[in-house]
Amino acid sequence: MKALALCAEAVAAAPGRNEKIARVAAYLETLEDEDLARAVLYLSGRAFPASDRRKLSVGHATLREALVRVTGWDLEMIATCYREVGDTGETVALLVRRHTAGREMSLAQAEALYEQLEQSRRTAQKVELLAEAFRSFDWLQLKYFVKGITGNLRIGLQEKMVEEALAAATGLSAEAVRGANNRSGDLARVARAARGGALASIEAVLFHPLEFMLAKPLDRVGDLADPAEWWVEDKYDGIRAQAHIDAGRVRLFTRGLEETTAAFPEVILELAPLPGPLVLDGEILAWREGRALAFSVLQQRIARKQVSSKTMTAVPVIFLAYDLLLWRGELQFAMPVEERRRRLEGLGLRYLAPQMRLASHSEIEERFLAARGRGNEGLILKRAGSAYESGKRGGNWLKVKRPYGTLDVVVTAAEQGHGRRASVLSDVTFAVRSDDRFLNVGKAYSGLTDEEIRQLTVLFKATTVERYGRVSLLRPEVVLEVAFDGVQRSPRHKSGYALRFPRIVRWRQDKRPEECDTVERVRELYEASLE
Ligand code: AMP
């Protein structure tokens, strides 16, 4: 772990993506096969491979309890340190410094410890194991060991970059390494195979999510050079999902690669009889009388672990398939869209997205309006002859949708970010006007430049009226323009609404809070979305 920790520190300090990758590659080259397999996992912020069923189940409370044991500080003090630092691994490293024997931890020891933590069923056992480790090992190595537990190194190193570094260290193409990791969800296995020149032998693993193909936005249908070269489908506004099916077993994964099987029992029943091993790409939709209901209706089914039969009757859902990723156990990525479609049609599915070729811009425009008329968001165009480009937004899929517009909102609270952004107030809560009050409608994290965030942090600090831990409540002064993909009902916000996928477009220094948009405007947008 010593060399890994030093490598990680150097990566954190390295200025750019390429420098970070080069540092990781140089470190990986020094390792023998088994350590290479471990290091690529830990540098990706994982204790176990992604497709591994084992889960650590070590929460913040357990880690804090172990810190109490070792340092003698109380929980309140430890919570305060965590709030200041913003990362559990860093907090552990700082606090155990004077309490540890400072021994070196080998990568094999780290692996054994992760395994012991996973196997201990009782929290008390986990606390004991952690406390013992905190007393024994070097603080810098513990920092990265703990980050492996919390699941994020926060050094600006994404798994994709570790894949690239592994490729560089083994003399293979990044594409080949990425493909093998996508198929198997096991970077450790990929690392061993890469050394042995056996990447091609790594097959797709069922019940582990594959990366989704993404679509590029197309503003105007008129911009298409070759309208007849595209397959046209409606763009449905539901939850993108991947269904893995084999021998009566079905598991569903969302676009964020999270499992969502338990939320949709009727979908599982419907798909279970299909011949596996099979992986379908499609959309989960609230559905009635042959058409999709608004996303805000489907929303009632999300966030529920257990579904009552009452909810199932009130909001019936279906899985509408539109692509095929694995068929009879064979990966379909390289197959042209026409062949994937032919095989998909051969499955005799009850719900399959209609697909057609249209000859001209005006026919596609008409189809767009018809899709909107059916309550769908717009169209998805798929280039004739194209492959399924897993994990890419390469331009072989295009999305056409009416932009939902933007709102001017006022910032009412700001929160410390994480990692690199721990010292600035980068996460903002914003509101719209209702008479002389401001009611919250959402939160946004992205869209401003580092310089704007720095300036705003100064301003936010000057206008803070109250602080609750990481959150500062502000006098409403700063106006931002935010773009979003829709409006939904929300009990969490005072306005009763939340914007979907809000992102900051710009800082409206020219506007005063009284000039921002109103809750009536938000209500209008919401009601229009139900029509
Ligand atoms: P994006 O996720 O930004 O790439 O936008 C494309 C999204 O459109 C996908 O993630 C799907 O959730 C959604 N979608 C809706 N209908 C379709 C369709 N017929 N084919 C592919 N994607 C679709």
Tens digit of each residue's pLDDT (9 = 90 or more) over 426-475: 899 999 999 989 999 999 987 788 889 999 999 999 999 999 988 999 99
The Cα 469–Cα 79 span in angstroms is 10
Answer yes or no: is pLDDT of 21 > 90: yes
With 0-12 CB in 10 A as exposed, 13-18 as middle and 19+ as buried, what is 69?
Answer: middle
Catalytic annotation present for 235 = yes
Q: How far is the CA of 380 from the centre of ligand 1 (A)?
A: 7
Q: Percent of the chain having pLDDT more than 70? A: 99
The tokens for 210 are 């594959």
The one-character DSSP state at 435 is T
Residues 131-146: pLDDT tens digits?
999 999 999 999 999 9
Please state the atom number of ligand 1 nearest to the C-alpha of residue 216. Answer: 4
CB 185 within 8 A of CB 205: yes
Q: How far is the CA of 323 from the centre of ligand 1 (A)?
A: 11
Domain ranges for the chain, please list them.
2-150, 216-400, 406-530
CB 398 within 8 A of CB 414: no
- Residue corresponding to tokens 């513990």: 142
Answer yes or no: is pLDDT of 75 > 80: yes
With 0-12 CB in 10 A as exposed, 13-18 as middle and 19+ as buried, what is 424?
Answer: middle
3-state secondary structure of 312: helix
Pocket probe mutation, ligand 1, options 216, 234, 235, max atoms within 8 Å of Cβ: 235
Evaluate whether the domain defined by 2-150 bears CATH number 1.10.3260.10. Answer: yes
User: Which residues, in sequence order, are CB contacts of 7 under 8 Å at separation 6+?
Assistant: 23, 24, 27, 43
Question: How many residues in total does the chain contain?
Answer: 531
Residues 166-214: pLDDT tens digits?
999 999 999 999 999 999 999 999 999 999 999 999 999 999 999 999 9
In 383-406, which positions are buried (b, 16+ CB within 10 angstroms) versus exposed (e)?
beebbbbbeeeeebbbbbbeebeb
Mean pLDDT value of segment 307-319: 91
Q: Top-level CATH class of 406-530? A: mainly beta
Mean pLDDT value of segment 338-346: 98
In 335-359, which positions are buried (b, 16+ CB within 10 angstroms) versus exposed (e)?
bebeebbebbeeeebebbbebeebe
Pocket probe mutation, ligand 1, options 210, 281, 283, 323, max atoms within 8 Å of Cβ: 283
The one-character DSSP state at 385 is T
Task: Please state the pTM of the whole predicted model.
Answer: 0.77
Residue nearest to atom 6 of ligand 1 (CA): 215
Residues 6-19: pLDDT tens digits?
999 999 999 999 99
Q: How far is the CA of 259 from the centre of ligand 1 (A)?
A: 18
Answer yes or no: is pLDDT of 299 > 70: yes
Residues 101-131: pLDDT tens digits?
999 999 999 999 999 999 999 999 999 999 9
Mean per-residue pLDDT over the chain, rounded: 93
Q: Ligand 1 site: residues with CB under 6 angstroms?
A: 214-215, 233, 235-236, 240, 255, 283, 322, 353, 380, 399
Please state the atom number of ligand 1 nearest to the C-alpha of residue 214. Answer: 4
3-state secondary structure of 303: coil
Q: Top-level CATH class of 216-400? A: alpha beta
Please state the atom number of ligand 1 nearest to the C-alpha of residue 233. Answer: 19
Mean pLDDT value of segment 485-501: 90
From the list 126, 143, 147, 235, the catalytic residue is: 235
User: Which residues, in sequence order, are CB contacts of 300 under 8 Å at separation 6+?
Assistant: 311, 314, 315
Please state the atom number of ligand 1 nearest to the C-alpha of residue 397. Answer: 21
Q: How far is the CA of 21 from the centre of ligand 1 (A)?
A: 31
Residues 353-373: pLDDT tens digits?
999 999 999 999 999 989 988
Answer yes or no: is pLDDT of 403 > 70: no
Q: How far is the CA of 90 from the centre of ligand 1 (A)?
A: 39
Cα distances (angstroms) measured from residue 470 to each of 79, 405, 418, 503: 11, 31, 10, 21
